[in-house]
Amino acid sequence: MGPEESMQIQSNLASTIAMAFDECPPYPAAREYMQNSVDRTTRWLKRCRTELTRLNQLEDTINKEQMLFGINQGGTFEDIRIEHAKVISEMDLNGYAIGGLAVGETHAQMYHIIEETVPYLPLEKPVYLMGVGTPENILEAVERGVDFFDCVYPSRNGRHGNAYTNRGKMNLLNAKYELDERPLDKECGCPTCKMYSRAYIRHLLKAKEMLGMRLLVLHNLYFYNHMMEEIREAIRDHRYQEYKKQKLEGFVRSED
Ligand SMILES: [Zn+2]
């Protein structure tokens, strides 16, 4: 597959946003490899734009308004990241993603790269951090200018017995929940927390009954979505710093 095929497939899927066809370089990667890879990603981005513009004009295209987001790469080399951000910003795309993070570097390195790169992306366009992350990662990235996210954590970790709550992450396979009749999180408004106890969910997981995983995924997706609502509200009310501090303090309280 190349950039043209990628655009054709995404055009057929008719998603709101098509993501550029890029290379996500491995971590760690040598500087020379990284520079060559980023240059190729830039060449591919131009081909993506040409092809998507063509597709959006075709009579039988389902979503003729399909947007194209470019993807910033450069690993942990800040100068390569910044240079690439400048080049793709000039292409005037609908939005921009930061890719190639959360691939093995430390959280501190990831936050640093976001901090260095975001100022070189257009302020009026959405910024999307790909494949991130924990509730803590999201709070830190929002502070550095990221608008949206995607991540497998709420679903994959849910299937592995984990629930995200305002008091941190809990693992329902833990024996201490065997007779615990309380909901996962009493502050949560999701259907799982309204109807099922920790003990019952644990029982379902132990019995390898699929419903246990589904209830946890439902709760986790609700938790993440609700947190994003809270974040938007806190930003609108100019109290994001205070909100973030409280939320982070909550995550490290040991859940009861
Ligand atoms: Zn819940």
C-alpha–C-alpha distance, residues 59 and 62, integer Å: 9
C-alpha of residue 51 to centroid of ligand 1, in Å: 43
At 253, is the pLDDT very low, low, confident or very high (cuts 50, 70, 90)? Answer: confident
| pLDDT at site 233 | 98
Domain boundary among 130, 151, 172: 151
Q: Which CATH number do you get for residue 46? A: 3.20.20.105
Query: What are the residue ranges of helices labelled H in the chain?
Result: 3-13, 31-56, 78-89, 107-117, 135-143, 153-159, 191-195, 198-206, 210-236, 240-252
């644990």: which residue's tokens? 202
C-alpha of residue 126 to centroid of ligand 1, in Å: 29
Strand partners of residue 169: 164
Residue positions counted in the chain: 256
| pLDDT at site 84 | 98
pTM for this one? 0.96
CB atoms near residue 109 (< 10 Å):
14
In total, how many domains does the chain have?
2
Are residues 79 and 39 both part of a single domain? Answer: yes
Are residues 119 and 163 both part of a single domain? Answer: no
Residue 215 has pLDDT above 80, yes or no: yes
| pLDDT at site 256 | 59
With beta carbons less than 8 A apart as the criterion, state whether 10 and 19 touch: yes
C-alpha of residue 187 to centroid of ligand 1, in Å: 8
Are residues 168 and 198 both part of a single domain? Answer: yes
Domain boundary among 94, 117, 151: 151
Query: 129 is written with which tokens?
Result: 């951090």
At 197, is the pLDDT very low, low, confident or very high (cuts 50, 70, 90)? Answer: very high
Are residues 165 and 236 both part of a single domain? Answer: yes
Are residues 96 and 122 both part of a single domain? Answer: yes
Domain boundary among 151, 177, 207: 151
C-alpha–C-alpha distance, residues 145 and 128, integer Å: 9
Residue 255 has pLDDT above 70, yes or no: no
Per-residue pLDDT tens digits for 48-82: 999 999 999 999 999 999 999 999 999 999 999 99
Burial class (CB in 10 A: 0-12, 13-18, 19+), 167: middle
Per-residue pLDDT tens digits for 226-245: 999 999 999 999 999 999 99
C-alpha–C-alpha distance, residues 253 and 118, integer Å: 31
Per-residue pLDDT tens digits for 96-142: 999 999 999 999 999 999 999 999 999 999 999 999 999 999 999 99
Q: Give me the domain span that covers residue 48.
A: 3-151
C-alpha of residue 215 to centroid of ligand 1, in Å: 9
| pLDDT at site 254 | 66
Are residues 208 and 177 both part of a single domain? Answer: yes
Are residues 40 and 142 both part of a single domain? Answer: yes
Across residues 172-198, what is the average pLDDT?
A: 97
C-alpha of residue 195 to centroid of ligand 1, in Å: 9
Query: 162 is written with which tokens?
Result: 């984990």
Are residues 86 and 200 both part of a single domain? Answer: no
- In terms of Cα–Cα distance, which of 71, 60, 50 is closest to 7? 50
Are residues 35 and 142 both part of a single domain? Answer: yes
Per-residue pLDDT tens digits for 175-185: 999 999 999 99
C-alpha of residue 219 to centroid of ligand 1, in Å: 4
Strand partners of residue 127: 96
Are residues 182 and 143 both part of a single domain? Answer: no
C-alpha of residue 57 to centroid of ligand 1, in Å: 44
Q: What is the mean pLDDT of the chain?
A: 97
Are residues 146 and 42 both part of a single domain? Answer: yes
Give the angle 174-107-39 at the CA atoms, nearest 5°: 130
C-alpha of residue 241 to centroid of ligand 1, in Å: 25
In single-letter form, the type of residue at position 172 comes to: L
Residue 24 has pLDDT above 80, yes or no: yes
Are residues 79 and 117 both part of a single domain? Answer: yes
Per-residue pLDDT tens digits for 108-119: 999 999 999 999
